[in-house]
Structure 1
């Protein structure tokens, strides 16, 4: 395993999806930090628009002396199947003709993402994982890991997610998908061979999503009804160039995502979140939760709009082997698990103490 933080691509063969489609010659990309010595692996799962560079998006939590201490642990983060940061996705070349997969890329589920990650670990020769931890879509994958491969996972931290997608979540996420698919530059998902990108649709999707990622209190305290400096949204006629400050903020967030993320992957991964349901084919949610034997910490955010705290309370009440429950208190909302570094530092340190029962792994002596 390469652990210097560089991006590594690993072929995993043909991936057969939960729904019966196939992705031939699939590849999963990963980055890892810290020496690996068999039993000291931590898997960090990224969220919807995250990537393998966990040290960047979880800044302050991964590295020497930090909560996920790379002097003790090997920390690995892979890009999900269907993504656009190194793993096979809609923008990747199809093995038949070397043209982008586009609309030929099959729908995927959270379980398919976990299957692909398991295949990656098999290729890397990993037999045991000390802990898997992730938030949002990463939390959904973490939860599925505890049910799909419990023999491989010693502990899990499930952060800011639910046991299944709620109707509200499916509705708000489907609106984002629709914004992209209604963009005339979408071309049914086959825009890759044109000079056009569905930027307007992806930007709108991001604006909708970002409002669910942040807390209402935080947004209102930051922007209120202030106009964007130099603009006047209160003129005699509506002018889209004259914005409130919050509109400018959302435009900025939209532009940033369009510059770094693929619209096809956004549709695929958002649809995967719509399909999230750990109770499917397992006798329902509570039966599935009760069957979990992996010691699991549940973490939620008190102001989360997208995955409200009552959903984490439901997990904690029904999970078979609850390790602990933690609450992030923040006006930020769902994104607090990414932004509240001090609180997450305490939570992750406590998680690893409980995971190891106070005895972290000792690296082998160097000859």
Structure 2
């Protein structure tokens, strides 16, 4: 069932009353689409997407970091855990009984697209899926981290198709220090020559990335035990945690996908002044990847159409995953009429 302009753009009559369509549906698909990539020209692409929620409900596009994917939350049709179960699903801030939630797998996430990818390319891929599903305008775009960058691109490039934007921990430009961090991670992966070496290097890169996603304050609280000698090798208290993060990441991520999506963050640039839709920009005081001052500057460029929300968290950049109550309160307010 396709959406009319009015259905796709307007907020529900009440944010606390379900849509008239009682059933919560879900679907997956793969769109074969020719897109002109910003740095790599015309390409034939596979865009995998998933949606859940009533087919006649307002559409919310949901996007996370470079390790996120199309499966946002568990549903009856797809019961496996999603990457944002804390916020998406029945009776959550992103309520799948009141909204139709739509997400894609990032271009390049399967490791099969070994060319430079840009956040603008991802925004165009989202627009192509909307065309495919006959959705003229989305009620909102909720993006976190890399997803916030893509959301800003979507608002700049396809603003007439969007009602509002919630951008959490993502700015209009990458911070130079964060770019240096990612460059080091990519260097580690590139150092591996054999397939075994590449995967070991990818695990190390992910462990280094985890340090940038979190904060020294959290590590001081969680891993304050003294360094121990284990089989004659010094081992810090956080080693098991970091190695576990690396192992899980390697199991689901191809090295090429990591390299190209990491590059994509650093290639990101959007003219914030061209964005006309109402925006909520969310900043975490302790975020070392997207420092507070960069999001304050972004809010200044967006002007009166933007509201800046900020809070303190020892989890830093990962607060959108680890502070469910605070994020839920911001999302509920932003989606229920307080976008700007």
Which TM-score tier does this pair reach, normalised by the shorter chain? 0.7 to 0.9
Question: Does the 8 Å CA contact 1:63/1:70 hold for their aligned counterparts?
Answer: yes
If the length of structure 2 is used for normalisation, what is the TM-score? 0.86
Distance in 1 between the 2:254 and 2:311 partners?
A: 31
Question: Does the 8 Å CA contact 1:180/1:201 hold for their aligned counterparts?
Answer: yes
Residues 306/356 of structure 1: CA separation in 2 closer, same or farther (3 Å cut)? closer
Matched, 1:19 2:39: yes
CA offsets, 1:36-74, max 9 Å, x none? 22x600000121111111112212211222111111110
Distance in 2 between the 1:199 and 1:5 partners?
A: 34
Residues 36/197 of structure 1: CA separation in 2 closer, same or farther (3 Å cut)? farther
TM superposition shift of 1:356? 7.9
Residues 30/226 of structure 1: CA separation in 2 closer, same or farther (3 Å cut)? farther
Question: Does the 8 Å CA contact 1:294/1:321 hold for their aligned counterparts?
Answer: no
- Count of matched residue pairs: 311
Matched, 1:257 2:249: yes
Distance in 1 between the 2:85 and 2:246 partners?
A: 22
TM superposition shift of 1:309? 1.3
Q: Equivalent residue for 2:58?
A: 40
Distance in 2 between the 1:63 and 1:50 partners?
A: 16
CA offsets, 1:148-182, max 9 Å, x none? 00100010011101210122121111111111111
Distance in 2 between the 1:5 and 1:309 partners?
A: 37
Distance in 2 between the 1:69 and 1:261 partners?
A: 29
Q: Equivalent residue for 2:96?
A: 70
Q: Equivalent residue for 2:10?
A: none
Range moving further from structure 2, 177-186 or 338-347: 177-186
CA offsets, 1:296-346, max 9 Å, x none? 100011111111111111111221453422113211110001110000110
Alignment match of 1:172 (pick from 159, 181, 185) = 181
Distance in 1 between the 2:265 and 2:339 partners?
A: 31
Distance in 1 between the 2:154 and 2:72 partners?
A: 19
Distance in 1 between the 2:28 and 2:183 partners?
A: 32
Question: Does the 8 Å CA contact 2:178/2:288 hold for their aligned counterparts?
Answer: no
- What is the correspondence of 1:1-367 to structure 2 with a 5 Å cutoff? 4-12=25-33, 14-24=34-44, 26-37=45-56, 40-55=58-73, 56-84=82-110, 90-91=111-112, 105-185=114-194, 196=196, 198-227=198-227, 231-232=228-229, 239=233, 242-278=234-270, 288-354=271-337
Question: Does the 8 Å CA contact 2:60/2:140 hold for their aligned counterparts?
Answer: yes
TM superposition shift of 1:244? 1.0
TM superposition shift of 1:198? 1.6
Q: What RMSD over aligned residues (CA atoms) do the two structures have, in Å?
A: 2.1
Name stretches of at least 5 consecutive residues in structure 1 with no aligned partner. 85-89, 92-100, 187-195, 279-287, 358-367
Distance in 1 between the 2:242 and 2:25 partners?
A: 35
Q: Equivalent residue for 1:284?
A: none
Distance in 2 between the 1:223 and 1:255 partners?
A: 19
Name stretches of at least 5 consecutive residues in structure 2 with no aligned partner. 3-23, 74-81
If the length of structure 1 is used for normalisation, what is the TM-score? 0.80
TM superposition shift of 1:132? 0.3
Distance in 2 between the 1:356 and 1:307 partners?
A: 21
Distance in 1 between the 2:140 and 2:40 partners?
A: 30
TM superposition shift of 1:355? 5.6
Distance in 2 between the 1:325 and 1:356 partners?
A: 10
Residues 75/318 of structure 1: CA separation in 2 closer, same or farther (3 Å cut)? same
